Amino acid sequence: MLLVIDIGNTNIKMGVFRGDELVMSLRLATSVGKTSDEYGLNVKDLLEASGIKLTDITAVIMSSVNPNLNYTFEHMVRYYFKVKPMLVGSGIKTGLNIKYNDPKEVGSDRIVNSVAAYYTYGGPVIVIDCGTATTFNVISEKGEFLGGLISFGLKTSADALSGCTAKLPKIELVAPEKIVCKSTITNMQSGIINGFIGMVEHIIKKIKEETGYSNAKVVATGGLSELIGRDGDTVDIFDRTLTLRGLNIIYKLNTARDKQ
């Protein structure tokens, strides 16, 4: 079985694949204060709760946008799973042609999501990842990563609004029934969520106009992605497992020769 690990700024997503089948997935809070043993025991317990033993894992692939945790997880994988993890980065095969001024600048999470979207849904495709930041990635019909945008995330917007004002509270990110609301909390929820939806709709419209990809599929992933699709038809596909499946695809691309 293959263990895939995506180390993000807020959460760490993991999945176990048997071939192309996602057997199980789990999520941990990102904490640079945790040791490799703490993460190792967490993962061990969660895997075993799903009937998966450490010895069932024969390979591991990782992507990371949090360099502070790279060594911690590499050490954890080597010690607990007895394998050397494959790390998505410079020199790894992705099947995409990265049309970026400096390809090394592109976050591995953006590449992984783009690989999954292109190989699963074809191109042209626009990928939206609603995480700590919101990223938009554009992939051509030929598998070219053309670039994209990086914008604010829903949660970071809510935290900034409450953190930078004296009287506005922290809120739960749920959509109110109406856009015009009658309490401070629902006013904030309506403003943040509807403002975010408007931003996404505008950006997708401008991307399609600029690229000429009027027929491009729009795929959204990330924990809060469903909130942007409650109105209108901007997003065609919501895929919460996109990152995990992208890692599985990249692993297979880089080990295909070994299996021949």
Residues with a catalytic annotation lie at 109
- H runs (alpha helix) in the chain: 36-49, 70-81, 108-121, 154-163, 184-211, 242-255
Beta carbons within 10 angstroms of residue 180's beta carbon = 8
Distance CA 57, CA 70 (A): 19
User: CA nearest 62: which of 260, 229, 247?
Assistant: 247
* Rg of the chain in Å (alpha carbons): 19
Strand pairing report for 237-238 and 217-221:
parallel
Look at residue 159 and give its three-state secondary structure: helix
Please enumerate in sequence order all residues whose Cβ is within 8 A of that of 67, keeping only pairs 6 or more positions apart, or say none. Answer: none
Sheet containing strand 144-152, edge to edge, reads 97-98, 144-152, 133-139, 125-130, 217-221, 237-238
**d(Cα 149, Cα 151) in Å, to the nearest integer?**
7
Amino acid residing at 245? R
Instruction: Copy the structure tokens of residue 100.
Output: 């970026």
> From the CB of residue 258, how many other CB atoms can be counted at a distance below 10 Å?
6
